[in-house]
Amino acid sequence: MARRRISSRAAFVALLAATLGGCVPFATPAGPVVADRPGYTDAPTVLPARAIQAELGVTSDRVDNTTYVSSGEMLIRLGVGARTELRYFANSYGARFVDGNVVARGFEDPKVGLKVNLRAVPDTVHEWFPNISFLAATTLPVQASRLGTLRPQPEGKIAANWTTPTPFSAYTNLGYGGTYDDTQWGSHAWASLALWYALHPRVSVFGEGLAVGLSHGSASSGNNVDAGVTFLMTERLQLDVRVGRGVGAVTSHERFLGVGFAQRW
């Protein structure tokens, strides 16, 4: 949030930490961490009831002489039933640099959402019809800085995945959302596909493609590819790193690098 609201944001973070700390002794259902990071493609997996998971990271995205660094990227996930989880995306702190000089910085808009599982299949069952979930979310226009917007920006998407008898698995998302640039509304649709390979029970690698199209108004289109690795430190803590670049005429000069982790209680 804006500098004048940092104290209230700090109070909120402290309250959230205290709340999570108080819930941890009661929120320990069995199962390893399954994160929606890294990459663009969310998994259809929903946390079991009472489970809490936090996912955080930092990404540096460079296009020509402009670099945008997003710090935080916090996603808090809370299982509230056999098929539903609530999601809170805390507002990351962003900084935009041009030729090494800061031209804009501040907190991005936070976002709230939910994930509802529509069909769950155990990983040991390999069927042509996938695991599938619906995700809905919207930003909250807190007007904290020049990096925020004046109106909520809603989105919805379908997430699916397939497992195989081999170490390979596949994940895909199809989404549609609205955008607002303080002057006009726009919208865009996107699709992503991620292929994962388990090198070891604790180490996996992936390659991913993202295509954004059907854009109009304030929205923009473009394509990206990235690859990364995840390392399961413990059953409940996963580290990750990814690198990527833009593809095509619109985003060909883009390069990005991200690191992060996910912790489940």
Identify the pLDDT of residue 220. Answer: 60
Identify the pLDDT of residue 117. Answer: 97
List pLDDT tens digits, range 14-51. Answer: 444 444 444 444 445 667 899 999 999 999 999 999 99
Identify the pLDDT of residue 11. Answer: 40
Instruction: Tell me if residue 18 falls in helix, strand or coil.
Output: helix
CB 226 within 8 A of CB 236: no
Identify the pLDDT of residue 222. Answer: 78
Judge if pTM exceeds 0.85.
no
List pLDDT tens digits, range 106-163. Answer: 888 899 999 999 998 887 888 889 999 999 999 988 765 566 677 888 999 999 999 9
Find all residues with CB under 8 Å of 50, minimum gap 6, and list them.
23, 26, 27, 28, 29, 79
Mean pLDDT of the chain: 85
List pLDDT tens digits, range 61-76. Answer: 999 999 999 999 999 9
Altogether, the residues listed in the chain come to a count of 265
Positions of E strands within the chain: 52-63, 66-79, 84-89, 93-98, 101-107, 111-119, 131-139, 154-163, 168-180, 185-200, 203-216, 222-234, 237-247, 254-264
Which of 173, 46, 80, 155 has its CA nearest to residue 111?
Answer: 155
CA distance linking residue 182 with residue 239, whole number of Å:
36
